[in-house]
């Protein structure tokens, strides 16, 4: 599978944020987006997920052998990606487990049919070290724990593309390790990730792209 961005031009209001961004991301690789504040990392991720319509260019997902699978305009890219933005998407009145169980049911696709919802939730809780907090209302979690809960969404449903916007914010060292391990495992299984970050992340197979200046992958 490939994620293809062709000549993306993004605008916010009248301001041009990105100009002619192009890349092809192959299965099993991650793309790190770096650049100063305001260089358009989040905007680019929102465009990849299909929230923001590019004023020029397209985002596409291609299957094996270059077969066309879908574009962001018709929502097909959104259906194969996980988006974890600055906000965690957590309901403070639900317990940690209820939050995850909802996403496990809501985001489930054909690839998840083999495992029951409860099983996927248990695995995700364990992977992100949230099992001790499972029955606690999410409103009582610390910032880092909330972040982990938001990231645990990545594990409750299998999706090939992960779009992560500064995923390491407020995580401690051990949690960053959990996250990089999760990303590595995802890449090894043939997944892709686009990660906006200010910190260098040590991943197995990674390219990086600097935004704000010449917008071509190194």
Please tell me whether residue 134 binds another protein under the rule CB under 8 A: no
Interface residue with another protein, options 25, 52, 124, 141 (CB under 8 A) = 52
Our CA dihedral for 157, 8, 202, 82, rounded to 10 degrees, sits at -10
Rounded Cα–Cα distance for residues 22 and 145 (Å): 35
Rounded Cα–Cα distance for residues 176 and 208 (Å): 19
Name residues contacting another protein, limited to 80-109 (CB under 8 A).
81-83, 85-94, 98, 102-103, 105-109
How many residues line the site for another protein (CB under 8 A)? Answer: 32
Cα–Cα nearest to 206, from 4, 32, 22: 32
Nearer to another protein, 34 or 99 (CB): 99
Tell me the H-state helices in the chain. 41-49, 76-79, 96-106, 117-127, 143-156, 173-188
Please tell me whether residue 153 binds another protein under the rule CB under 8 A: yes
Name residues contacting another protein, limited to 31-50 (CB under 8 A).
46, 49-50
Nearer to another protein, 66 or 102 (CB): 102
Give contact residues for another protein (rule: CB under 8 A).
46, 49-53, 75, 78-79, 81-83, 85-94, 98, 102-103, 105-109, 150, 153
């Amino acid at each position: 599978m490939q994620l293809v961005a062709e000549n993306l031009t993004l605008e916010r209001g009248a301001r041009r944020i990105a100009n002619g961004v192009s890349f092809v991301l192959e299965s099993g690789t991650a793309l790190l987006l770096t650049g100063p504040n305001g260089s358009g990392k989040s905007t680019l991720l929102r465009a990849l997920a299909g929230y923001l319509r590019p004023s020029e260019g397209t985002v596409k997902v291609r299957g094996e052998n270059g077969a066309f699978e879908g574009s962001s305009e018709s929502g097909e890219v959104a259906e194969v990606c996980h988006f974890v933005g600055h906000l965690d998407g957590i309901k403070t009145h639900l317990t940690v487990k209820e939050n995850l169980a909802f996403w496990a049911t809501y985001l489930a696709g054909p690839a998840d049919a083999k495992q029951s919802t409860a099983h996927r939730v248990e695995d995700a809780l364990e992977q992100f070290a949230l099992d001790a907090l499972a029955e606690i209302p999410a409103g009582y979690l610390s910032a880092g724990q909330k972040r982990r809960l938001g990231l645990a969404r990545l594990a409750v449903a299998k999706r090939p593309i992960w779009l992560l916007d500064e995923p390491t914010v407020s995580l401690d060292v051990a949690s960053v390790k959990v996250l990089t391990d999760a990303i590595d495992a995802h890449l090894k299984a043939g997944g892709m990730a686009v990660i906006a970050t200010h910190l260098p992340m040590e991943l197995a197979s990674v390219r990086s792209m600097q935004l704000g200046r010449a917008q071509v992958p190194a």
